[in-house]
Amino acid sequence: MDATKKFNLLALSASHGFNSFYMFLLIPVLPLIVQEYGLSYIQAGLLVSAYSLSNSLFQFPFSFLADYTGRWRTALALSHLVQTAPVFFYAYAEDYRLLLLLGFISGVGSAAYHPPAVALITRELPARRGFTMGIFNGGGDVGHIVTPGLVGWLTAYLTSWKAAAQALVLPGLVWAALIWLRFQDQGSQGQTMRQAARSTFGALFRNRRLMLLVTLSTFRITGFRGLMTFLPLLLTQIFGFGVQEAGWILSGYFVLGTVATVLVGQWSDRIGGKRTIFIVIMTFLTAAALASLWWVASVPALLIAVAAVAVLLTPVPSLVLAVGTELVEERQRSSSVGLIYGMNEGASTLSPIIGGFVAQAFSLRLAFLFYALMFAAGGLVAILLHREGLRRQASLAGGTA
């Protein structure tokens, strides 16, 4: 790998870290927000869902436009700007509804991130998608690692989560400028938008394996978003951790997950088309580990369960993206990623709300059992995806015999 490709890979991976950082910025201080605004579990879930709703609505349209115009660089830089700017105004949100609106706007920025970023990074090293997706998602996980500890520490230091949010706006703006200066846009497709839309949509929605992958990823994100919404509340309200301590536990979660992501990404390159077997195994094991949060009673058992979920769950998105980018042509790559993430964020919109209803009506712990069932359902879809891949390989082998 030459120095230019290495720098580009690191720059895009770091940009993923910033995307994750701003996406989860409110999660470590959610207990403080619940207390300040007097929110119920359902309202806390709605706050997370507002971000996911806009992310879902705009993800696929933005990805198609990025593919059609070839302006992946522009879309990525604007994504950082629009995602970051509302964070500054959290400090002025005296009303819960205004906080919801700002979260919705920030989600619009995030909607434009993953499709062009994945398209750009797979162009750097197309023959090593498992490795590049592992590094890329590892960058996102670094953002997850830094967010809880940094936000928790800065909130304690400044004695205000709103002041901490304002102080953390600058890095995102700087990285938007770096992306703009480092990369170049491509030319647009030689088709009318109507022709491009027809060919792109037809190619994506007729792709059975891609549709299975989208379904699998939707179940996965439903469980993950619920975990990230209610785990801080479990730590603080049930086990008595402080906000800063809970932040460090979440950081530890993503440290373990990042290491696992890079290792699994490298291993998956060695088996190529059989990556889906990793997805099957890790998704079912995640369901079992997450279900244990329903009954664990001691702090050591809790930490072991959280660590197990981290190691098993975190590598799965990189495997999903590696498989997904192999199923489509380059000019449709951003759109395919947009479809995956758009459906994901649609599920993410409902996930915290449903979990909030379960927690409100029954108990907070029971919400984790619901999310474990989502991973079990995803595991069943992963089996279908794996069988479809084996069937296709057998068909190709028979055709060349």
Residue 372 clears pLDDT 80, i.e. is over it: yes
Is the pLDDT at 289 greater than 90? The verdict is: yes
Percent of the chain with pLDDT over 90: 29
pLDDT band for position 205 (50/70/90)? confident
Contact between 8 and 124 under an 8 Å Cβ cutoff? The reply is yes
Is residue 401 over pLDDT 60? no
Spatial separation of the C-alpha atoms in residues 378 and 317, rounded to whole Å: 13
Q: How confident is the model at residue 31 (pLDDT cuts 50, 70, 90)?
A: confident
Q: Is the pLDDT of residue 400 over 60?
A: no
Q: Which residue has the higher pLDDT, 335 or 386?
A: 386
What is residue 5's predicted lDDT score, i.e. its pLDDT?
A: 79
Quick: pLDDT tens for 61-77: 887 777 777 788 888 89
pLDDT at residue 318, as a whole number:
77
For 255, residues 6+ apart whose C-beta sits below 8 A from its C-beta are: 145
Mean pLDDT over the full length of the chain: 84
pLDDT band at 234 (very low <50, low <70, confident <90, very high): very high
Give buried/exposed letters for 367-401 (b at 16+ CB in 10 A, else e): bbbbbbebbbbbbebbbbbbebbeeeeeeeeeeee
CATH class of 3-183+192-400: mainly alpha
Least confident of 80-89, 271-280, 288-297: 271-280
Could you state, in order of their start, the residue ranges of all structural domains in the chain? 3-183+192-400
Name residue, tokens 């940009």: 15
- Determine the pLDDT at residue 104: 93
Q: If you search the block for the tokens 């906000």, which residue do you land on?
A: 243
How far is residue 199's CA from residue 187's CA, in Å, rounded to a whole number? 18
Radius of gyration of the chain (CA): 20
Burial class (CB in 10 A: 0-12, 13-18, 19+), 228: buried
Residue 38, Ramachandran bin (φ over 0: left; ψ between -120 and 50: alpha; else beta): left
| Residue 322 banded pLDDT, cuts 50, 70, 90 | confident
Whether pLDDT at 24 is above 90? no
CA separation for the pair 326, 102 (Å, rounded): 36
Beta-carbon neighbour count of residue 204 at 10 Å? 21
Cα separation, 391 vs 231, in Å, equals: 39
pLDDT band at 210 (very low <50, low <70, confident <90, very high): confident
Q: Hey, what are 46's tokens?
A: 């709605």
Of 18-27, 109-118, 317-326, the least confident: 317-326
| Stretch (H or E) spanning 395 | helix 364-400
In this predicted structure, the answer to whether residue 328 has a pLDDT above a threshold of 70 is: no
Query: Tens digits of per-residue pLDDT, 117-166?
Result: 877 877 766 666 667 777 787 788 788 778 878 888 899 899 899 999 99
Which whole number is the average pLDDT over 94-121? 87
pLDDT higher than 70, residue 250 = yes
Q: Is the pLDDT of residue 363 over 80?
A: yes
Residue the block writes with tokens 């706006």: 169
